[in-house]
Amino acid sequence: MATADFDHTMFEQGNNAGDETLLVKFFNKPKENKAKTLEEGRPIFDDVVYVDIRVAGSRNGHVCRPARQGDMQRFPRHYAAFKNREEIPLEGTPLSEWSLVTRSQVEELSFFNVKTVEQLAEMSDGNAQGFMGLNTLRQKAKDWVIKAKEAAPAIRLTEELRVRDEENAKLKAQLAELAEKVEALSTAPAETARKPRRRTKKKG
């Protein structure tokens, strides 16, 4: 049987042996906030801190997941380096998730620290003058945010109905299963009657 070329326990927080040989990186990764998405009627993302841990010299020794408090304590030097270059956590709809802008526009706006549709919609007239055609794009962002807010109640209701239908379907399935068991018990053959004990004749 093949053996791994790394120690699996190296990824466990309680094992600090060999930590200096690990390649560790903390980074932000956008994750959709379901509650805020339903509330606002548009996709809202929050930045979540992830940790990527790799074993030097191994192609398979790799784990990438949301960072835990223990990871930050275990790798303080790497976490400090991450914090020193950390940007303000993103909250809103990333421009990269908005179909009304091109990839080049996303990159250009990001260079000027405009990374969400909400930030674009709230740009001042003075800042907008530096971009060709940005006033039109900014107005589209404003209209999109307004329409999304107006549609939010209907979206929440649709989601609530979907969840309710799923719960009702599960309940119906459980009731049907229970009815089948009851029917099976009621139609089961009656227990075989016990045979009467044979009387023995007295000798007389």
Q: What residue segments make up the domains of the chain, in order of their start?
A: 18-92, 94-181
Q: What is the pLDDT of residue 3?
A: 40
Chain mean position to CA 139: 31
Q: Quick check: 20 and 66 in contact, CB under 8 A?
A: no
Closest CA to 94 of 38, 44, 155: 44
Question: pLDDT at residue 34 above 60?
Answer: yes
Q: What is the pLDDT of residue 195?
A: 54
Over residues 173-182, the pLDDT tens digits come to 888 888 888 8
Over residues 72-115, the pLDDT tens digits come to 999 998 998 888 876 555 678 889 889 888 888 888 888 777 88
Q: How many CB atoms lie within 10 A of CB 130?
A: 8
Question: pLDDT at residue 9 above 50?
Answer: no
Tokens 């209701």 belong to 157
Q: What is the pLDDT of residue 69?
A: 92
Question: What is residue 143's three-state secondary structure?
Answer: helix
Closest CA to 138 of 125, 151, 149, 147: 125
Q: What is the pLDDT of residue 70?
A: 92
Run of H or E including 2: none
Question: pLDDT at residue 191 above 80?
Answer: no
Distance CA 120, CA 115 (A): 8
Distance CA 2, CA 188 (A): 53
Give the Å distances, CA to CA, from 92 to 44, 95, 112, 118, 168: 5, 9, 17, 7, 33
Q: pLDDT averaged over the chain?
A: 78
